Structure 1
């Protein structure tokens, strides 16, 4: 995922042109919102964080000197904010690999109990949709098992495809330090998936469809832990890519299979109101 900005747009925004500022914020809000979603695990937290990041970008435009690409600078502003953010959620979405493994084992056991004597029932279209949603929620849960610095390194490099030097610059660390973080994150995530995920390893015990009954039961009881909701439109847009990536049987490919999450338009409207009333830019 890249941040593409028209030439001259930043200079026009810094010169006080409100239309240019809006265009600049529109160019960055989607990628930054998607980073926030993957770092925080909940769309509500990601929306709040992205609004704060956009305001920081607006008020600190003068600190960008052009010695790095504007996209790299914007990623850096967002990354530092997300690394130090205290979310407003009453329950943190972060889990451990041990806790996630226990949850998946319990889901598989519940499905096995339900299926006894009922193995000839075909899966419905709703079942397939819920299985796909479960796969996306599970990959996000794996990200939340990493500490924030490792999660950031993994998302920037593996999922968003930033080259290592740029990913290191975004984090404010050396390329060698980035590679070390990335190696630890890869080992944890891919090791977990190779042992448990049926999308990666044929003999692994966990199948997305087997997690659906337990998920529905937890939802009916109001016991579903906070997680990432995926809209039908986003899921439909990503479906072909998901099938192709899953067919590769590669852990990194499966992790890249999440859709591009649509940023709420209300975010940019809110930022515009703040900018118009703050005197940050002259009209």
Structure 2
């Protein structure tokens, strides 16, 4: 028996605009959160999401039902994200050694910006998500996608390989390399992953504000998620390096994405 989503896909493929809009509403958060994890910056993720959704819609007739529809959507998305160069994420991507220097710079036990506990809590969360997601940009695009699909989104090797259209063996090799790089970096630098490390999210608040990497008046993450820093310690069955990523909940995609899709494809 076909799922409700697959029935909507069939109707949308036959020209039903109402069904098409429901399909887009069903998958837009999925695409946006993958794009956000891949590109770090919401403005880049929004642009990528809009382009990916257009590709999904305009190629809907090529979906052959041989795989789950959402798996097919992930394939379309990853193919696009593999070569997408976000305006901001491209500039921020750097080698691991340079990112280590960024982590070591400007740590301070005193926060100058504010003493308000609520504001400090948001800023600390903003640092945590920005820093951990920014670390992923040190990986090559395909290696980054492998890590996100497996460690963050929890696809198994067969599913991940199907999405990226590579062999399961190749997927496992790439995952092993990416996992090692991320784990070693976090265990060597991050106080959340390894309490013996000096760095704490609170110590980086002023520096990242001064460097204009985070904007306290326009937070990218903290206002849209629960405080994931506290969740890391509660995920006992995972190593800390993985828990840091899985603790971040999905973020609702911006409303303007659907408005743009309606305008682009003339969905009423």
TM superposition score normalised by structure 2:
0.88
Deviation at 1:62, TM superposition (A): 1.0
Spell out the pairing of 1:87-102 with structure 2 (5 A cutoff): 87-89=86-88, 92-102=91-101
CA pair 91-170 structure 1, distance change in 2 beyond 3 A: closer
Secondary structure of the equivalent of 1:107? Answer: coil
What is the match of residue 15 of structure 1?
A: 14
Q: Which residue number corresponds to residue 280 of structure 1?
A: none
Structure 1 residue 130, shift from structure 2 partner: 1.2
Q: In structure 2, what is the equivalent of residue 256 of structure 1?
A: 246
Q: Aligned partners of 1:228 and 1:180: how far apart in 2? A: 36
Q: Does structure 2 conserve the Cα–Cα contact (< 8 Å) formed by 1:246 and 1:254?
A: no
1:44 Cα shift? 0.9
- TM-superposition CA deviations, 1:71-105 (whole Å, max 9, x none): 11100000000101133449622122111111111
- 8 Å Cα contact 2:39-2:89 kept in structure 1: no
Flag as ranges the 4+ runs of structure 1 deviating above 4 A.
225-228
2:141 corresponds to: 148
- More RCO (CA 8 Å, sep 6+): 1
Runs of 5+ consecutive residues of structure 2 not aligned to the other structure: none
Q: Distance in 1 between matches of 2:59 and 2:139?
A: 30
Query: What TM-score do you get using the length of structure 1 for normalisation?
Result: 0.84
Q: Which residue of 1 aligns with 2:59?
A: 60
Distance 1:153 1:137 in 2: 20
The 8 Å contact of residues 154 and 186 in structure 1, kept in 2 or not, is answered as yes
Q: 5 Å matches for 1:110-125? A: 111=108, 124-125=117-118
Q: Please point out which of 203, 212, 215 is paired with 1:210.
A: 203
Give the conservation status (yes or no) of the 8 Å contact 1:140–1:228. Answer: no
Contact 1:194 1:200 in 2 (8 A): yes
Q: The residue matched to 2:92 in structure 1 has which SS? A: coil
> Shift of the alpha carbon at 1:141?
1.1
Residue 230 (structure 2) aligns with: 243
Distance 2:171 2:27 in 1: 23
Structure label with greater radius of gyration? 1
Gaps of 5+ in 1: 278-282
- Partners of 1:79 and 1:171 within 8 A in 2: yes
* Alignment match, 1:266: 256
| Equivalent position of 2:158 in the other structure | 165
| Distance in 2 separating the partners of 1:78 and 1:206 | 34
CA distance in 2, matches of 1:19, 1:97: 47
Q: Alpha carbons of 1:6 and 1:91: their partners in 2 closer, same or farther (altered >3 Å)?
A: closer
Q: How far did residue 242 of structure 1 move? A: 4.3
Hey, what's the Cα distance between the residues in 2 that align with 1:141 and 1:84? Answer: 18
RMSD: 2.6
CA contact (8 A) 1:33 1:46 kept: yes
